[in-house]
A and B are shown apart, each in its own frame.
Chain A
């Protein structure tokens, strides 16, 4: 049988349907210019899960050792009219040819790579490395909250937009988990369920919870509060996402591209989206890495084209947006026996936005000589990921994470890479 709205309310007219209609108010699309005047800066973190191989993305083609270490995986030096050659950045490094769109952003000064970023902790376990990084607390298993969530919590005000932080995927990335309630968007059609259950989860007035209630009633009220919040946030979000995509930007038709398209919609709706994070899974290429035609090449292309469409869509508003791409660690410098690479140590990040200080490659590079490698096999970490996180929060939100103790047990006071200009 089917359950319809009528089954849930026989006395329709005063009830559920009306509340539902109120949530679906038409949206007034803000013009890019008016958006920028009162813009909330937005940080978008893209997590490449699995340990993305830096040497196949940001290629050290000028390094003497490189071709020998990667007999089947090495890419060729920059060369005009060779679409399989790397795309030159600074004379030493080049982007993988599948990252043509990001390369063009690099040449416009809107995209910078950061080399040899990572964790001071030696783990090569995906889970540990991801946890440590997304919680901004290497080696500290007892820190359970994400670094972005701690930032949100620390700067929480009663005026926070209900869409201040969200993930456009069902599972909240670890960096966003914690005390600050962040919406993860369910991948099920939920408008019917929200209509049906809305009345059971009434909005709470702030003073209702008190000691005169039984423990059970207090618990119920807390659950109602979360339900009510879910409904109002989701309705607001769905109303934005259900709008047709304006403009002529063509987003690539893959899950990552669609996520970027939806994010752009939310940002352009001007509802105060400050932080979002999304997962891009599948970078653990032990076998047949395929930097151009294989698995990794296809994924780099998707990443690059998805971001580039987003940048185009954002237009001048990109001055208030930063996209930060990262992964839990890099991979072995030497390829393995299966045309792939194994878990390594130092990795990379890429920052895209109007505030990057473009035109150069950031991060200290020590070359590929065995004596410079970590444990003789992996890229060393020359930039602690917390240095990048701190600089990003400072430049985007004027939040001094180091002074505020955002990173537990992190005593050092590193100088920033200065890859970002501060908010004007």
Chain B
């Protein structure tokens, strides 16, 4: 469907040309349009690696160029096809909780509250509780960072981070639930169907607790989750729904809660469940969808599916994805084309991503290096660009906190923004500069840029060094004016630090 449309538009373009209109009469074709020129192959590779990955590692740049960006992108769109066993093996040691059930996580990491006979005992218990909770959080942060830095399935990491913020939870409010949420909701469904992703989040204790739905009942209605479900997760703010819809949806979702439950045959387990006793059985109408109130949990499922397939949702999610992957202000044509794919595939996320990445607009120069990296993107891309060896993430987590983006700790349900306006504040660059210096001076604890990274630069004639540094760290530069500044230095470490702290490295 959308392919036809694109072809049609191209043909219209050609008709215009054949009508012998002077090129200068068409501003978008005019040769002085600074964005008219197509990206050259080097730029195209840089662009793809900045949007579908957290930048390239030194090795990867050549790799992608050799296999063409299109082939690389198709491979990335199918993460399962890419081997990542060595990373997973490392994560087995670093983050054992990621494969545990919620019950097992509670048993391993949550120290139960019990009466203590002495104040010393009480303090000891509290200390143990804090330590284990902190360990669990550390496991989650480690896994997020190590995957972002090292996963060969880079696009998977990029998209999981999108959903991590779209369906955001704050680990501090749900310390024992977040790691399971990351694995079974975000990672499991990031390349699946949107309705299944949404349903999985709706039925996950982390979301229910983070947005207070677990305590919502017909006697004490809590609108928090119902509102965000429409405002943030599906339709977009004040799109199609009213305050009445919020209340009605909240009523339909009463009884969606979680906690320790014993099934008929199973053991006692921590899980999502539907509590009929707190569920509101009255009739409800959400966005015109009438529910007789007799359906119990099925009523809620019906509305969530209805929301997932609503045209407003297709539009809202498509635009947000275009903002994330293409431009803070994507052109409406592109958003419309992507939304069409969203609708026609019933929210098949892989197809939607593909529609964005292979849209002619994706490779337009007007989208090249126009995004401002978030702190997370900056830190991860700096480590990838230098091939850094990360043995401990504590300092990285600390840096991200200083830069205003502590991982998994966004306390508002909007998640962290990926838009420049959210991050481009005076003061914020100072942390990035300091990080670039410390990283190359070997002063970030637990992190080392291997000597082998600098060596080829050392051996290189002085007059070639600056160009090489740029090609390594900020490949696909639109112009080399920056080289002059870089040439003021001859020390490879300093040169890399300069490049990482430069304006151009903050762009992607």
Please list the residues of chain A having a beta carbon within 8 angstroms of any beta carbon in chain B: 1-3, 7-11, 15, 127, 131, 141-142, 170-172, 177, 181-188, 190, 192-194, 196-197, 199-201, 211-220, 222-224, 226-227, 229-230, 233-234
Among the 9-residue stretches B93-101, B108-116, B485-493, the one with 4 or more Cβ atoms under 8 Å from chain A is B485-493
CA distance A184 to B491 in the complex (A): 32
Q: How far is the CA of A214 from the CA of B365 in the complex (A)?
A: 8
Chain A neighbourhood of B501, CB < 8 A: 193, 196-197, 200
B61 within 8 A of A: no
- List 23 A-B pairs, Cβ < 8 Å: A1-B441, A1-B493, A9-B488, A10-B488, A15-B488, A142-B237, A142-B238, A170-B402, A186-B402, A188-B402, A193-B501, A196-B501, A199-B488, A201-B429, A214-B34, A214-B35, A215-B370, A220-B369, A220-B507, A222-B424, A223-B429, A230-B426, A230-B427
Nearest neighbor of A222 in chain B, beta-carbon distance: B424
Tell me if B317 counts as interface (CB < 8 A to partner A): no
Tell whether B199 is near chain A: CB-to-CB under 8 Å.
Answer: no
- Choose among A170, A212, A216, A233 the residue with the greatest number of B CB atoms under 10 Å from its CB: A216
- Which residue of chain A has the shortest Cβ distance to B33 in the bound complex? A211
A217 CA to B402 CA, complexed, in Å: 28
Taking the closest CB of chain B, its distance from the CB of A209, in whole angstroms, is 12
Task: Give the residue of B35, B231, B494, B504 whose beta carbon is less than 8 angstroms from that of A8.
Answer: B494
Interchain nearest-CB distance for A179 vs B (Å): 8
Indicate if B498 sits at the interface (CB-CB under 8 A). yes
Chain A residues with CB below 8 A from B424, complex form = 222-223, 226
Identify which of A2, A171, A181, A188 gathers the most chain B CB atoms within 10 Å of its CB.
A188
Please tell me if the beta carbons of B494 and A214 are within 8 angstroms of each other in the complex: no
Cβ of A145 to closest chain B Cβ, rounded Å: 11
Give Cα distance in the complex from A171 to B34, angstroms: 38
User: Which of chain A's residues have a CB closer than 8 A to the CB of B482?
Assistant: 200
B488 touching A214 by the CB < 8 A rule? no
Contact between A8 and B489, CB atoms less than 8 A apart: yes
| Distance in Å: Cβ of B165 to nearest Cβ of chain A | 15
Contact with A along B415-433 (1 / 0, CB 8 A): 0000010001111111101
Measured between C-beta atoms, what is the minimum distance from A121 to chain B in Å? 13
Please list the 5 inter-chain residue pairs (A to B) with the smallest Cβ-Cβ separation, ordered nearest first.
Answer: A216-B369, A193-B433, A7-B494, A7-B491, A214-B34
B507 engages A234 (CB within 8 Å): no
Decide if A188 touches B412 in the complex (CB within 8 Å): no
Partner of A185, one of B427, B434, B437, B488: B427
Partner of B485, one of A141, A177, A193, A199: A199
B434:A1 contact, CB within 8 angstroms: no
Expressed in whole angstroms, the Cα–Cα distance for A92 and B111 within the complex equals 47
Chain B residues whose CB sits within 8 angstroms of the CB of A187 once the complex forms:
402
Chain A residue numbers with a CB within 8 Å of B507 are 216, 219-220, 223
CB distance from B424 to the nearest CB of A (A): 5
Which of B368, B420, B426, B437 interacts with A181 by CB under 8 Å? B426
Q: Whole-angstrom distance between the alpha carbons of A103 and B158 in the complex?
A: 56
Query: Are B426 and A184 in touch, CB under 8 angstroms?
Result: yes
B368 touches A200 (CB 8 A): no
Kindly report which residue of chain A lies nearest to residue B238, judged by CB atoms: A142
How far apart are the CA atoms of A185 and B430 in the complex, in Å? 10
Taken together as a complex, chains A and B put the C-alpha atoms of A222 and B372 apart, in Å, by 10
Q: A3-B441, A214-B34 are in contact. Are A234 and B427 (CB under 8 A)?
A: yes
Contact between B426 and A183, CB atoms less than 8 A apart:
yes
What string of 1s and 0s marks CB contacts (under 8 Å) between B47-73 and chain A?
Answer: 000000000000000000000000000
CA distance A11 to B486 in the complex (A): 12
Q: Is the CB of A190 within 8 A of B503?
A: no
Residues of A with C-beta under 8 A to B420: 219, 222
Residues on B with beta carbons closer than 8 Å to the beta carbon of A222: 420, 424
Asked whether any CB of chain A lies closer than 8 Å to the CB of B442, the reply is yes
Say yes or no: B489 contacts A9, CB within 8 Å. Answer: yes
Which residues in B have their C-beta under 8 angstroms from that of A192?
437
Enumerate chain B residues within 8 angstroms of A227, measured Cβ to Cβ: 429, 503
Shortest beta-carbon distance from B475 to chain A in Å: 13
* Residues of chain A contacted by B402 (CB below 8 angstroms): 170, 186-188
How far does the alpha carbon of A200 sit from the alpha carbon of B503 in the complex, in Å? 7
* Alpha-carbon distance between A15 and B484 when the two chains are bound, in angstroms: 13
Contact B503 A223 (CB under 8 A): yes
Instruction: Identify which of A9, A197, A222 gathers the most chain B CB atoms within 10 Å of its CB.
Output: A197
Residue of chain A at shortest CB distance from B507? A219
B498 and A197 form a contact (CB under 8 A): yes
Known: A1-B442, A171-B404, A223-B372. A181 touches B433 (CB 8 A): no
State the CA gap A342–B501 with chains docked (Å). 46
A170-B402, A217-B478, A219-B372 known; 8 other A-B pairs, CB under 8 Å? A3-B440, A3-B497, A8-B491, A186-B427, A197-B429, A200-B482, A200-B503, A216-B365
Interface assignment of B506: CB less than 8 Å from any CB of chain A: yes
1/0 contact trace for B366-395 toward A, CB 8 Å? 111111100000000000000000000000
Instruction: Looking at the assembled complex, report how far the CB atom of A79 sits from the nearest CB atom of chain B, in whole angstroms.
Output: 33
Complexed CA–CA distance, A196 and B252 (Å) = 59
Chain B 339-372, CB-CB to A under 8 Å as 1, else 0, gives 0000000000000000000000000011111111
How long is the Cα–Cα vector from A15 to B485 in the complex, in angstroms?
Answer: 10
In the bound complex, how far is the Cα of B34 from the Cα of A192, in angstroms?
A: 36
Q: Are B498 and A8 in contact (CB under 8 A)?
A: yes
Q: How far is the CA of A199 from the CA of B430 in the complex (A)?
A: 14
Partner of B430, one of A212, A216, A218, A234: A234
Q: Are B365 and A215 in contact (CB under 8 A)?
A: yes
The answer to whether A7 touches B430 (Cβ under 8 A) is no
- In the complex, chain A residues whose CB is within 8 Å of the CB of B437: 3, 192-193, 196
Residues of A within 8 A of B504 (CB): 220
In the complex formed, the residue of A with least CB distance to B327 is: A215
**Bound Cα distance A132, B429 (Å):** 28
CA A282 to CA B187, docked complex, whole Å: 36
Residues of chain B lying within 8 A (CB to CB) of residue A185:
427
Whether A215 and B433, one on each chain, are in contact in the complex, defined by CB atoms closer than 8 angstroms, is no
B184 adjacent to chain A (CB < 8 Å): no
Q: Is there an interface contact between A219 and B370, defined as CB atoms closer than 8 Å?
A: yes
Q: Which of B430, B494, B503 contacts A193 (CB 8 A)?
A: B430
Q: How far is the CB of B294 from chain A (nearest CB, A)?
A: 32
What residues on A are CB-neighbors of B25 within 8 Å? none
Quick one: closest A residue to B411, CB to CB?
A: A127
B81 at the interface (CB under 8 A from A): no
**B485 A190 Cβ-Cβ under 8 A:** no
Q: Cβ of B491: which chain A residues have Cβ within 8 Å of it?
A: 3, 7-8
Instruction: Among A172, A214, A229, find the residue whose CB has the most chain B CB atoms closer than 10 A.
Output: A214
Complex CA–CA separation, A230 to B437 (angstroms): 18
A residues near B498, Cβ cutoff 8 Å? 8, 196-197, 200
Question: By the criterion CB–CB under 8 Å, are A131 and B412 in contact?
Answer: yes
Closest B residue by C-beta to A167 = B427
Q: Which residues of B contact A181 (CB under 8 A)?
A: 425-426
Q: Are B429 and A7 in contact (CB under 8 A)?
A: no
Residues of chain B within 8 A of A199, CB atoms compared? 485, 488
Contact between B434 and A193 (Cβ–Cβ < 8 Å)?
A: yes
Looking at the assembled complex, report how far the CB atom of B40 sits from the nearest CB atom of chain A, in whole angstroms: 13
Chain B CB count within 10 A is highest, among A127, A170, A193, A212, for: A193
Contacts of B85 in A (CB 8 A): none
Least CB distance, B399 to chain A, in whole angstroms: 10
Residues of B near A217 (CB, < 8 A) are 34, 478-479
Cβ-defined partner of A212 (8 Å) among B34, B370, B427, B494 = B34
Query: Would you call B463 an interface residue if the criterion is a C-beta within 8 Å of the partner chain's C-beta atoms?
Result: no
- CB of B502 closer than 8 Å to a CB of A: yes
Q: Smallest Cβ distance from A13 to chain B, in angstroms?
A: 11
